[in-house]
Chain A
Amino acid sequence: MAIELLIKNGVVYDPINGVNGEKKDICIRDGKVVAEVKNPTVLDAKGRVVMPGGVDVHAHIAGGKVNSGRLLRPEDGRRGIEPKTTACRACSGYSVPNTFATGYRYAKMGYTFVMEPAMPPLAARHTHEELIDTPILDNATIPLIDNNWMTMDYVKSGDIDLLAAYIAWIIKATKGYGVKIVNPGGTEAWAWGKNCDLNDAVPHFDVTPAEIIKALAEANEKFEMPHSIHVHGNMLGHPGNYERTVETYDLVKGVKATKDRPVMHATHTQFFAYGGTTWGDFESKAKAIADYVNNNEHVSIDLGSVILGDTTTMTADGPMEYSLYQITGRKWTNHDVELETGSGITPFLYSGKVSVHTIQWAIGMELALLVKDPWKVALTTDHPNAGPFIGYPILISMLMSKKRRDESAADMHSAIYKRAELPSIDRELDLYEIAIITRAGTAKILGLDAHGKGHLGLGADADVAIYDITPEEQDAGKIQKAFLNTKYTIKGGQVVVMDGEVVAAPPGRTFFVTPECDPKLTEEMMPNLKEKFEKYYSVTFANYPVQDAYVPNPYEIKAPMRG
């Protein structure tokens, strides 16, 4: 028998289908949105806000680095302790929650898809093992491919076809979703305790980060990839980095996309929108970044907006984490990964009493408000770097309420009035725009709209969030509360959250991309790759690829090569 649900009387925000706050019923059968149902279980949404399930474009929720963060911080673990229930496993952690808490808490916020955006290829099995243990959420993960010696070999020789063959191989070998770039060249340099700026030569490899980014964008567009390259550029977190950021965006302006989407997704842009020359004259340059994005069509961004309080920073950008630890003197973990990448982790407290943190807090929201087209912007906190994902509802309420922003700013460091734009911005996002930056737009940026995510059109995945507010709600506190705990979350046609409590925790699916490379190119690339394994890797070629056992609920997206 078909399992049917009918969501009645809700006010629906479904931007991909142009539905803006219409009273509309949603019919669900066997996990999909359908035109009609016969004998459904009825959920009365009674004028409440109904949206597609949230799609997070960038949150570090699984893998070696995240787990090293958990291991590093039992004190964070105890801040999120929840005992087991009939439906749920025991939970722990605030900025680095255990995998179960990650699934439950996202589901309670109405999210049903999360992208883990930084998988070290050599440790890919680890990321997948954690994704298996992350309940409810559909997911995908992007391998880091920019500091790889193979990549740099082909960037140096200028052979984009062979680079394409390599990225195809490694995306398949890791059951990954696309191409992730994190401090290109800089992480390799960090293996020697150094760093690289955009146009510096990478030590021993004779290529520049700029060349790496451009080449990977071109290689990515050799295939009909659902997602563009996903870029964390050079000099993250450094005062005065905004010019470099714009220069990075401009590198790929001439690259032609194989699909109707940008050619670069620039992630956690807040950390790249800094003016000034030191922490002393540090200021917001969000406007310069927003201007560029407004005037160009080839870049999408996500915010990396700050949530005040203690968090755990973690990134493949090893030298950045080292600099951060040098500032705080707190504990610091680093893990360099042979031939490929690295990572660093250190706890960090964002305080509204500190001028720099206050300006950082402002920049994230400025980007959301200054970029005119919401389809180009995604709401993130670069969880847990600028703050944990559990802070999204705070952020949503701020973006929807100038009053709330003003009240918060009044309690913070006065630098916000001198060296940030936020207090002078009047714009308030409406629910339609919120729906874009949290699900519709993010699904499009990731190319998931074609695979049933981010919308509620016929045939879409029946992932639905019903928030316990009416469209007229003006009270920022009530908006925040509603976005923290849904009235209902439905995942794949199953009610998983009811009245803010998780009632079922089915496993999620893992979306991965298979780039279909010309076998001749793969064959030509292979001797170089095998030599790397024979001489330099510490594991064998045969033991490297991720076995099917690590993707028990697969969803494959084929990416044909462009002729």
Chain B
Amino acid sequence: MTAGAVPGAPRGAARLVLADGRVFDGEAIGAPGRATGEVVFTTSMTGYQEALTDPSYGGQVLVMTYPLQGNYGVNAVDSESGRIQVRGFVVRELTDLPSHWRSRGTLDGYLARHGVPGIAGIDTRALTRHLRTRGVLMGTVTSDESAEEALARLRRTPDYASGDYVAEVSTREAYAFGSGRDPAEGAPHVAVVDLGVKRNIMRILSGRGCRVTAVPHTASASEIRRLDPDGIVLSPGPGDPMLLDGVVGTARELVGAYPMLGICLGHQVLGRVFGARTYKLPFGHRGANHPVRDLRTGRVWITSQNHGFAVDGSELAQEMRVEQQHLNDDTVEGLVHEELPIFTIQYHSEASPGPRDTEFFFDRFLSAVAGGEALAAARERVGGV
């Protein structure tokens, strides 16, 4: 069937088969075919388009715990990258009849157009409880094979942990991020190492008056130096940071030369630069309601999160201090260098989706970029935020 074609038309059958043999029967949505990846859930109640297009979900099948999806359709402004990044999509209920003035089509049609299969109608809460207890695991959405066949196929599929997803989602060429507004003369220049960057990171930097250049994850330290940036952002992205020796090496070479900001995977990379190891969480942190405590002030921020790995703070170099912690499980949420302008956050201050309470964190980084004064002057000139 051509999914997403006729609103209200009956959907074909599909099933979700997990690597431990658990099967959920439901209806096929999105593109026909199979989708295999690590099955993860997010508890964010809004922002499905942002989540689908978030490169950090590369290699994963995404389960939305909120049951009603697609309510406001899909639009031209909410994408965080040029395509849908998830392998497959799992929901309780997908509407064919969205309502929003911005909407340009249904979520079903959007999945179909991007060739992403999905499944609807299943007990996503039962699935979530299963993933929470069992830990995340590989799974496949399928509509043309038996559960046994799917399981056998799944067992032959390489595990998520071995995949180099950053290579899949990173840009191949360096490019200047166009915000539609030319940065002013003398605006600070920020290089973003694209490990799977979300557009909103670049929008925020550019909105604060910066000139932004995205570079591939393979960019060497000297290539980056040649751009003559005033600061470097290591972006979020998918997969296991222990596989990213190349990026870690590049980052290590640049330490000390530039103010640096690491976000999510970028934070894990900088953690590794300063001697920490990373480890896999049982079912990750994915949602828009994660409390993070600032250890300096005791204040708690509600953050948007999407990560399956965390930094182990125990072997961290002395000069790197854990400044923020997850309130629920004490995992490391932010690092700061004692002397150098190097900051990291495990969560997503760029939100999109999620709360924007910590957007000020970009200002902290930018105040270190170009001594802060040049930036302030530049912002004055562009009349920015």
Whether chain B is bound by chain A comes out as: no
Interface residues of A (CB under 8 A from B): none
